Structure 1
């Protein structure tokens, strides 16, 4: 029962954020930042940010951490959904309502209550959709995503098994609202939680694959997300527990998904060059007529 619950919740969350990110990509055009083309230096900077962020969180006093996370969620929602809700007052009122709903659910039901996890998962999912499209529509290509996820694989493995930073961060946010994770808990026995970073990895790859190769990229991304993002880590955790008599404390999902995503990129690359943003027809352009593709846009 527990395994089926965890698998169902994991697949549902992963597919929901991927579907939401691709749906946003197909219907909303975000303003393109003047950053030119993503390259190796950009990946290096992103990894530096990923490396530094957990240390910053752990350096904060416990009561300050949820405040910082709430502000980060609010900022991500405001930037990502400005093209959808142009009225700033309305947008911030809705964001405040979402943040308040998470806090109220936590106060009423605690961090193990299903209402809290449903509310928190909605906010995390919306932030992931926002961050995915800011990056993919901003010029991040499938090759960039694949290399980033491969680097993230080494990072997650090192900080889960060599230096237990991931476990320390997980312990630091216990008992507080605004966890950087999505999931569902029902009572004391049933629980399934996916980290926000894992969800972002799934959505980034799937959306970038769709941008690059259309429906073929989308199918490839969704299959890899289900098999190597949801199924493989969970199966390995329970198989290892059955064989050794005790389950490992942590098996990072990126250990499976990162290499699979990189191979998926190599597989899709045989279809030819990636599509550019200028090649894609949007259903609805919420920020006005699309500008003519200049040199930077043509390279995206």
Structure 2
């Protein structure tokens, strides 16, 4: 096996290991309070704006400043991903150790060594696992994920295929801590996968499983890894002689898979519904609102005296009636206006 082929094999193993680790994390680790809201179409627009603005901006910044930003941001992502797995002091220690090792190798002139590449691969694996699980467990919809993939595909086709933007951006970040490439080798023997492609390879299977079923998740693995295999085989067979972004193939494949899944499953599952199926023994992420015992007792007493005559609805909270009327929706609306913080009990009472 020559060097380029060995580098290719190591890179493929790393990508598959990242996907496998993310799925294990998805099934066994529960992010109690994701630090972001649900990723939606507004976020797609904002992310696309960042994607367009950041590379040219980074090219104008001093190298030291870029390295500092990457190190700080990456350390936070490492800590967040590791915290559910180990105690907080250990998570802090591991995050600082990994970041510190990369920084030390960069300062000592070993940023292009095999040691630096290996550590950066491990760091990137952990970061991708954390980011993808944060998005998936916080409830990103398959529709929004497919739209995001389509948008990134269009950008990549221009920025990577027609313009030098991506190549210059990646070249600026190479040999810096948290360099956004995973792979192995150096020089002409190097084989790497970009962070953007890696995120979609890992995220789409998690989102498809969350939104539809475990079978959909497994099919999504075949879709993303199949695209990687197709691009890799094309290079090895000489069908491709110039670098093309993986999203040019993967983006349309994800969109087509989503359309097929939507045809078969008109309704997506929410993150909470998937959570119940995955961990029925655990309490819900959002606990049901509790109603004080006094409210229930007052409601039962009012209902008991309603009799067979005309009745009206009453909203009870803290043992007091907040609103009353013939329309239950109007009663709840009035009760909410009177006590926005309350979760009243709705009951029937005599109209007279």
Band of TM-score, shorter chain? 0.7 to 0.9
Match of 2:132 in 1: 132
Distance in 2 separating the partners of 1:176 and 1:112: 9
Distance in 2 separating the partners of 1:274 and 1:132: 19
Distance in 2 separating the partners of 1:71 and 1:37: 24
1:274 equivalent to 2:273? Answer no
1:263 equivalent to 2:263? Answer no
1:236 equivalent to 2:229? Answer no
Q: CA deviation at 1:168?
A: 0.9
SS of equivalent to 1:136: helix
Picking from 245, 248, 270, the partner of 1:252 is 245
Long gaps (5+) in structure 2? 290-352
Aligned CA distance change for structure 1 residues 137 and 112 (closer, same or farther; 3 Å): same
Match of 2:20 in 1: 19
Q: Contact (CA 8 Å) 2:11, 2:182: kept in 1 or not?
A: no
Q: Contact (CA 8 Å) 2:4, 2:190: kept in 1 or not?
A: no
Would you say how many aligned residue pairs link Structure 1 and Structure 2?
285
SS of equivalent to 1:193: strand
Q: Compare CA radii of gyration and give the structure with the larger one.
A: 2
Match of 1:214 in 2: 213
Aligned CA distance change for structure 1 residues 22 and 293 (closer, same or farther; 3 Å): farther
SS of equivalent to 1:178: coil
Q: Contact (CA 8 Å) 1:66, 1:176: kept in 2 or not?
A: yes
SS of equivalent to 1:290: coil
Match of 1:197 in 2: 196
Q: CA deviation at 1:258?
A: 0.7
SS of equivalent to 1:15: helix
Q: CA deviation at 1:169?
A: 0.8
Q: Contact (CA 8 Å) 1:38, 1:140: kept in 2 or not?
A: yes
Match of 1:92 in 2: 92
Long gaps (5+) in structure 1? 295-300
Describe the superposition over 1:106-151 as per-residue Cα deviations: whole angstroms up to 9, x where unpaired: 5668344222211101101111111111111112122211110111
Match of 2:71 in 1: 70
Q: TM-score, normalised by structure 1?
A: 0.83
Match of 1:50 in 2: 51
Distance in 2 separating the partners of 1:289 and 1:271: 28
Aligned CA distance change for structure 1 residues 35 and 91 (closer, same or farther; 3 Å): closer
Aligned CA distance change for structure 1 residues 197 and 4 (closer, same or farther; 3 Å): same
Higher RCO (C-alpha 8 Å, min separation 6): 1
Match of 1:297 in 2: none
Match of 1:146 in 2: 146
Q: CA deviation at 1:18?
A: 1.5
Distance in 2 separating the partners of 1:126 and 1:12: 15
Distance in 1 separating the partners of 2:62 and 2:38: 38
Aligned CA distance change for structure 1 residues 127 and 35 (closer, same or farther; 3 Å): closer
Aligned CA distance change for structure 1 residues 163 and 191 (closer, same or farther; 3 Å): closer
Match of 1:298 in 2: none
Picking from 271, 277, 290, the partner of 2:285 is 290
Match of 1:117 in 2: 117
Q: CA deviation at 1:202?
A: 1.1
Aligned CA distance change for structure 1 residues 259 and 292 (closer, same or farther; 3 Å): same
SS of equivalent to 2:119: helix
Further displaced range: 17-26 or 103-112: 103-112
Distance in 2 separating the partners of 1:109 and 1:285: 52
